[in-house]
Structure 1
Amino acid sequence: MTDNPNKKTFWDKVHLDPTMLLILLALLVYSALVIWSASGQDIGMMERKIGQIAMGLVIMVVMAQIPPRVYEGWAPYLYIICIILLVAVDAFGAISKGAQRWLDLGIVRFQPSEIAKIAVPLMVARFINRDVCPPSLKNTGIALVLIFMPTLLVAAQPDLGTSILVALSGLFVLFLSGLSWRLIGVAVVLVAAFIPILWFFLMHDYQRQRVMMLLDPESDPLGAGYHIIQSKIAIGSGGLRGKGWLHGTQSQLEFLPERHTDFIFAVLAEELGLVGILILLALYILLIMRGLWIAARAQTTFGRVMAGGLMLILFVYVFVNIGMVSGILPV
């Protein structure tokens, strides 16, 4: 007797990829070790992080059981809710640090722009799935409108960084639908031509200051340039193998700001060195490559462009975080 090739495995039944899950768990454990050091061995914080990780894994398993067609059906409703919430932020959102980005409902306080990071690619993927790929010029234009409506609402808060991420989340989906390279080339030229307008007329003073600090952080070492200078010191002092786990000076002596959140990569670089950085990058590359492989095997256009788009935006998140902490991108 031979095994039935159509027999479903446990992983098929729970709709999870064991290879991707293993890589993800390795990333979570690795990150938890760095958080433990960056937090100054704060037991309370570590317990909260472990609880958040456990909750995230449970949500992941539950969401994996929902068929893609259900997400496709939800897309318009989530998109409309997202637009309404973004308009509500502009009307009566809570102001924090000079920006109006939060909705405070009493029992919960959240940023609708985070919902846009999921609602936009979902909606674009659903729209594209209704037509043949690559999309026509008309449908490409409609997709761009769907992308830039929430993008402009987020940019008006003002939150330029998040608005760029929202736009990219939709543009990646559009790119994976088979958009012609001619259109992509035209778009690149238009974006390049728009940069001077953005710099002189649309960017706020504090945003321009961040760019200038990227070019010369030493011009204000105790003010706007302090964060990136301390981060560079931490990364550079790590060397090849680092100073050892729990033995970083910049992090443990609290020279490094926001060390357990925004600048946690600098903690890793200082304590685990170049070797630790390469391990982290290898895990992320494996995760993203596996995700793209899964996306390529999807049975529908919606599944393929949505899964592929999410993997590409994950790459951008990793690049932006490491780039800001390393002084490659403005903080």
Structure 2
Amino acid sequence: MRVHDGRPLWQRVRPYFAVFDPQLAVIMLMLLSVGLVTLYSAGIAIPGQMTGQARNICMAFLVTWIAANTPPQVMMRIAVPAYALGVALLVAVALFGTIKGGSRRWLTFGIQVQPSEYMKIAMPLMMAWFFQRQQGQLRWHSYLIAALLLAIPVGLIARQPDLGTAMLVVAAGAYVIFLGGLSWKAVAAMGAAACAALPVLWSVMHDYQRDRVLTLIDPYHDPLGKGFHIIQSMIAIGSGGFGGKGWTHGTQAHLEFIPERTTDFIFAVFSEEFGLTGNMVLLVLYLLLIVRGLNIAVNASTFFTRLLAGSITMIYFTYAFVNMGMVSGIVPVVGVPLPFMSYGGTALMTLGLGGGILMSIQHHSRGVRGGAAARAWGATA
């Protein structure tokens, strides 16, 4: 089929897909494929899981494509409105949000949305914009303002309560602050202050949050109660051995000993069925994802894009580390999904949005480098 300018349709459409970074796209597709294989086994007795995840992947692809086609200059312009909208939605949640399972985290507009997920991207956007504006004139009060910008949404999210998402939003903002030039001495001082504040934090934690910390320290103090799920998860991981029990042959998963086996604890299902060998392959995929993201950050053409790409990449790292850590019993259970593998629409779209932003940064940085090279060649010719 041809259009009015004489070019085939695919040639007109191709530029809109040329923004995809091949390396990053392949890694994301491989993780999604591993996730679908594992999800099929984990949710084999749950009707509609695969159909639902296929729909989620299609929506995430659309979000990724839109973000990849959005120039970084546009991202800079929308950073402040995006942050303001996110804070406004969090305030709306606090005032009249929907309560489920004892937590007030959702707004209902015909469909339910979770504004705290949106802040995982809006936060680094805002922080990167702020440090771009402050570049060359950073003072101690700049970091104080940045900390305040971070504390407002984190406080609202923690109040819901949603410790896992609050921790991820803190990480998203903290990565930008550190990459923006915060000294190691200041980081050490804040670490010491955080340790000193632990008794105060303990006193304001909810009972279930304290239980999670105590369960981390000794899951066997209540093996049939609060410690049951994490014990069963660790049994599943250990029973996988070197090569695993085989796809769809995991006993802990199919006998329903593993909690939330299609979402937060999908790593336990994967470990039981594919063993240490599968885990090493999965870790390599996540390592490649992080290396590619950091490479995009290093080669970014502006301070804003370097900070944004670096923060989003480290969010991926935090997602993977926290999820694998909580399922393995080395960090408290905080409800963080495994990137590109856990079932769920909102988290998958957030991850896809981050991937699209990285691709946009890489595409436009490549264009800037190509233009600079062309100008340099012209000057020497």
Q: Equivalent residue for 2:370?
A: none
Amino acid at match of 1:289: V
> Which fold has the larger relative contact order, with Cα–Cα distance below 8 Å and residues 6 or more apart in sequence?
2
Q: Equivalent residue for 1:245?
A: 247
Q: Equivalent residue for 2:28?
A: 24
Q: Equivalent residue for 2:71?
A: 67
The 2-side partners of 1:133 and 1:221 are apart by 55
The 2-side partners of 1:179 and 1:133 are apart by 13
Instruction: Map 1:153-168; keep pairs closer than 5 Å.
Output: 153-168=156-171
CA contact (8 A) 2:223 2:231 kept: yes
SS of match in other structure, 1:130: helix
Q: Please state if 1:194 is matched with 2:190.
A: no
Sort the Cα spacing of 1:17 and 1:60 in 2 relative to 1 into closer, same or farther, 3 A: same
CA contact (8 A) 2:172 2:315 kept: yes
Q: Equivalent residue for 2:182?
A: 179
The 2-side partners of 1:203 and 1:133 are apart by 40
Q: Please state if 1:212 is matched with 2:234.
A: no
Q: What whole-Å deviation, never above 9, does each CA across 1:91-127 have from its counterpart, x for those lacking one? A: 111222222222223x021221111111111111001
Q: What whole-Å deviation, never above 9, does each CA across 1:143-164 have from its counterpart, x for those lacking one? A: 1111111111111122222212
The 2-side partners of 1:225 and 1:38 are apart by 21
Q: Please state if 1:38 is matched with 2:68.
A: no
Instruction: Map 1:293-308; keep pairs closer than 5 Å.
Output: 293-308=295-310
% identity of equivalent residues: 48
Q: Equivalent residue for 2:54?
A: 50
The 2-side partners of 1:11 and 1:282 are apart by 31
SS of match in other structure, 1:77: helix
Q: Please state if 1:118 is matched with 2:121.
A: yes
Q: What whole-Å deviation, never above 9, does each CA across 1:274-312 have from its counterpart, x for those lacking one? A: 000111110001011101101111111111100110010
Sort the Cα spacing of 1:142 and 1:320 in 2 relative to 1 into closer, same or farther, 3 A: same
Q: Equivalent residue for 2:377?
A: none
The 2-side partners of 1:26 and 1:301 are apart by 30
Amino acid at match of 1:286: L
Q: Which moved more, 1:145-154 or 1:37-46?
A: 37-46
Deviation (angstroms), 1:165: 1.4
Deviation (angstroms), 1:56: 1.4
Q: Please state if 1:325 is matched with 2:327.
A: yes
The 2-side partners of 1:190 and 1:210 are apart by 23
CA contact (8 A) 2:229 2:257 kept: no
Give the alignment's TM-score, normalised by structure 2: 0.81
CA contact (8 A) 2:16 2:69 kept: no
Deviation (angstroms), 1:11: 8.2
SS of match in other structure, 2:241: coil
SS of match in other structure, 2:160: coil
Q: What RMSD over aligned residues (CA atoms) do the two structures have, in Å? A: 1.7
CA contact (8 A) 1:11 1:17 kept: no
Deviation (angstroms), 1:173: 0.8
CA contact (8 A) 1:135 1:177 kept: no
Deviation (angstroms), 1:54: 2.5
Give aligned pairs, total. 320
Q: Which moved more, 1:77-86 or 1:240-249?
A: 77-86
The 2-side partners of 1:133 and 1:272 are apart by 50
Sort the Cα spacing of 1:42 and 1:100 in 2 relative to 1 into closer, same or farther, 3 A: closer
CA contact (8 A) 1:134 1:179 kept: no
Amino acid at match of 2:118: I
Amino acid at match of 2:257: F
Q: Which runs of 5+ in 2 are unaligned?
A: 1-13, 334-381
